Amino acid sequence: MPAVQARSITCPNCGGPVQLRGFAHTLSVVCPQCHTVLDTSTPEVAILQKFQQKTQIQPTVPLGARGKFGNTAYEVIGFQIRQVQSGDDTYQWNEYLLFNPYHGFRSLTEYNGHWTFVEVQTALPEPAHARGRPAVRYGGKTYAAFDSMTAQTVYVLGEFPWQIRTGDSAACQDFIAPPMMLSSESTGGEITWSLAEYMAGSQIWQAFKLPGSPPPAYGVFANQPSPYGGNTGSAWRTWLWLNVALAAMLFLFMIMAPGRVAFSDHYSYPPGATRDRAFVTPSFQLAGRASNVELSIHTDLDNNWAYFNFALINNKTGQTFDFAREVSYYRDSDGSDGSRNNSVIIPSVPSGQYYLRVEPEMASGSPYMSYDLELRRNVPNYGFFGVAALLLLIPPVLTTFRKGSFEAARWRESDYSPATSLSGGEA
Amino acid sequence: MSAPAANCPNCGAPVKFLWSSAVQTTCEFCHSILVRTDVDLKKVGEVADLPPDASPIQIGTEGAYQNKSFVVVGRIIYEWDQGGWNEWHIVFNDGSSGWLADAQLEYDLSWLSKPPQPLPASTRKGQAFDWQGKNYQVTSLTKAHYKGVEGELPFEYWDKSDLLFADLRTTSSDFGTIDYSEQPPLLFLGRAVQFDDLHLKNLREFEGWT
């Protein structure tokens, strides 16, 4: 059998030629010359509607363009602009009719740079509820009710397998499970369900090999997948694993670098000491590269305080690190305050031979105090781990926050917008 | 599967049968509608010119569904106020036959089935039936006209005019049709299928798409 021939007709309004791309499926076509809508369901072409709109609109994807979706090539054969009136607001979207002589019809919708690929469905969704909102179950997924509207065709170009006219209107309902959207369209008691998959402009440009780059998408579209969608879970999982790693590092640190004792000794502070209480320790070696040094003080103070001035002095260079610590410990029947011990970390002390100058100080009339001084080289800096743990929190918190604002932007456009219900159902 | 050839009682052209159980066929040459009797073929009518259609399927198209291969042997063409559709009569390699509907390239496979309960004399949109553990809902009622026949059919079918069909769907792509052209009405049950599910060969070609 010879190939099915493409059909060509003559416009009964202007006499111009009209090429048909949809073979015998085409039941109406818009004359490209005079924009008259023609009825092609019978061999005698009749006028369905004299097109009112004079403005010439060029669809972003031209009629006749072929694009590949999955493994199937589809040709753009029809284009319509559909409009929704919502209170004082009017908004419009573009709808492209796609055709393949074997696989049939699909459509593309475009709104503010957001695209969807639409396929009519043969199964029926079941009514359901999701988080107290109406929803439907379909193909094992729950689709949340998003909005309902009356969509009116306000501009048409090309061919359709039904008799299209501007002014046609349909009651539509959208249910979403991003990146999918399940929509019902009802005309004259007939309900058609279709499933739309979100597509970025770049995918459309690639499918049709369009020149240039797609215009940017504005806002958040109903079934646009959240860029943070699957990420909050994974961001928090990553955070958990990084914390485990951090804890392991901390543990290793504690084993590997417990801090070598460079110097320690036991001292006493006799009561009523009046003479110069400052003394110097024997010299000791601080080895390795420049790193920290921790001096800890352990006293037997009881309801008393002591103040220590220290200087860590390099034997050779005379480089001096001055620091001081107070130790105070008080207790009564209600409990205790302060601690008998204190410590100080001096960062970045170069290696070398050092000694310590110690000047303890107590209130006059204090009882006998005995104390230990211990100087450790290269102790783990636990503060670093705390800061690291805090920094690790930033990405998951940010992602969670961004996801929240993305979802808020999505649902702002919905009939079920939280803002809408709070303000008393104003559309 | 082929049965011996006979000759058209009208024009004498050879008439071949692809399916031995065919009750009716059409003569390719003179478009006579021929009905098999015990002894020969009888002309019962004539097919008017078939309306132009763009189904990719034709008589002789082969396919496979759920590992059973089939061949298209005949069709009934219907028309309604929003277009037309084809009911392709398909014969499986086990000798059974079914129907492949092509309505604007939406495909449904169905088989004549015994209704689990007697079918109501009339139905309405939204009416539900529980058959074989599935909930079928009437989704559309279509008033159609018989437009023509071609090839081999399992019954005599050539003098119909106005018909009423109720289409039914489930939540999992099951498909059903109640055909009110017979009394009692006939039930066909099957599946909505995708083009690729049918593994079709020997299809028509389309200008610009080869």
Interface touch A25/B54, C-beta < 8 Å: yes
Q: What is the pTM of this model?
A: 0.77
Q: B104 touching A, CB under 8 A?
A: yes
Interface touch A3/B205, C-beta < 8 Å: yes
- B3-46 topology per CATH: Rubrerythrin, domain 2 (2.20.28)
Lowest-pLDDT choice from A100-104, A304-308, A399-403, B69-73: A399-403
The closest alpha carbon to A421, from A111, A145, A89, belongs to A145
Interface touch B51/A163, C-beta < 8 Å: no
Mean pLDDT of chain A: 88
> How far is Cα B150 from Cα B56, in angstroms, rounded to an integer?
15
Q: Which among A23, A125, A138 has CB closest to B54?
A: A23
**List of residues 6+ apart from B3 with CB closer than 8 A:** B17, B19, B20, B22
> How far is Cα A291 from Cα B184, in angstroms, rounded to an integer?
98
Q: B143 touching A, CB under 8 A?
A: no
Residues 144-163, chain B, touching A (beta carbon < 8 A): none
Query: Residue A324 in contact with residue A308, Cβ under 8 Å?
Result: yes
Pairing mode, if any, of strands B24-26 and B14-17? unpaired
Return the C-alpha torsion angle B151, B157, B158, B160, nearest 10: -140
For residue A209, is it left (φ>0), alpha (ψ between -120 and 50) or beta?
left
> How far is Cα B210 from Cα B205, in angstroms, rounded to an integer?
7
pLDDT of residue B164: 92
Strands (E) across A180-319 are located at: 180-187, 190-200, 260-269, 279-280, 284-286, 291-299, 304-314
In this predicted structure, the answer to whether residue A125 has a pLDDT above a threshold of 90 is yes
Chain B, nearest residue to A192 by Cα: B139
Residue A127 CA from chain centroid, whole number: 30
**Mutation for A interface: B49, B100, B104, most A CBs within 10 A:** B104
> How far is Cα A8 from Cα A295, in angstroms, rounded to an integer?
96
Interface touch A102/B210, C-beta < 8 Å: no
Chain B, nearest residue to A164 by Cα: B82
User: What's the CA angle centered on B69, arms B64 and B71, to 5 degrees?
Assistant: 95
DSSP character string of A279-334: EEPPPEEE-SSSEEEEEEEEE--SSEEEEEEEEEEETTT--EEEEEEEEEEEEETT
In this predicted structure, the answer to whether residue B3 has a pLDDT above a threshold of 60 is no
User: Which residues in chain B touch residue A1, judged by CB atoms under 8 angstroms apart?
Assistant: 58, 204-205
User: Which residues in chain B touch residue A137, judged by CB atoms under 8 angstroms apart?
Assistant: 171
pLDDT tens for A73-93 read 999 999 999 999 888 889 999
> Which secondary-structure segment (H or E) carries A89?
strand A89-100
User: Which residues in chain B touch residue A63, judged by CB atoms under 8 angstroms apart?
Assistant: none
CA B29 to chain A, closest CA, distance in angstroms equals: 15
Q: What is the mean pLDDT of residues A36-59?
A: 84
CA A100 to chain B, closest CA, distance in angstroms equals: 9
pLDDT of residue A53: 66
Q: What is the mean pLDDT of residues A103-122?
A: 96
> How far is Cα A364 from Cα A362, in angstroms, rounded to an integer?
6
Q: B125 touching A, CB under 8 A?
A: yes
Angle of helix A231-256 relative to helix A382-412, nearest 10 degrees?
Answer: 180
Interface touch A3/B203, C-beta < 8 Å: no
Q: B202 touching A, CB under 8 A?
A: no
Query: Residue A19 in contact with residue B76, Cβ under 8 Å?
Result: no
pLDDT of residue A258: 60
Top-confidence residue, A331 or A227: A331
**List of residues 6+ apart from B63 with CB closer than 8 A:** B69, B70, B71, B72, B90, B100, B198, B199, B200, B201
List beta partners, residue B109.
B100, B191
Tell me the C-alpha to C-alpha distance, in Å, between residue B40 and each of A5, B1, B10, B43, B152.
Answer: 38, 19, 12, 10, 15
> Which secondary-structure segment (H or E) carries A100?
strand A89-100
- A259-379 topology per CATH: Jelly Rolls (2.60.120)
**List of residues 6+ apart from A412 with CB closer than 8 A:** A419
> How far is Cα A176 from Cα A143, in angstroms, rounded to an integer?
5
Query: Residue B91 in contact with residue B151, Cβ under 8 Å?
Result: no
CA B127 to chain A, closest CA, distance in angstroms equals: 14
Lowest-pLDDT choice from A3-17, A232-246, B61-75: A232-246
Interface A-B, measured as beta-carbon pairs within 8 A, has a size of 85
Could you tell me what percentage of chain B is helix, strand and coil, using 3-state DSSP and rounding each to the nearest 5? 0, 55, 45
**List of residues 6+ apart from A273 with CB closer than 8 A:** none
> How far is Cα B107 from Cα A63, in angstroms, rounded to an integer?
26
Tell me the C-alpha to C-alpha distance, in Å, between residue A13 and each of A10, A20, B6.
Answer: 9, 17, 52
Query: Residue B151 in contact with residue B47, Cβ under 8 Å?
Result: no
CA B144 to chain A, closest CA, distance in angstroms equals: 15
Q: What are the residue boundaries of the structural domains of chain A, listed by start?
A: 54-208, 231-253+384-422, 259-379
Going by pLDDT thresholds of 50, 70 and 90, the confidence category of residue A333 is confident
CA B3 to chain A, closest CA, distance in angstroms equals: 23
Interface touch B206/A4, C-beta < 8 Å: yes
Q: B142 touching A, CB under 8 A?
A: no
pLDDT of residue A426: 35
For chain B, give every residue range classified as CATH 2.20.28. Answer: 3-46
DSSP B121: S
Q: What is the mean pLDDT of residues A373-388?
A: 82
User: Which residues in chain A touch residue B171, judged by CB atoms under 8 angstroms apart?
Assistant: 123-126, 137-138
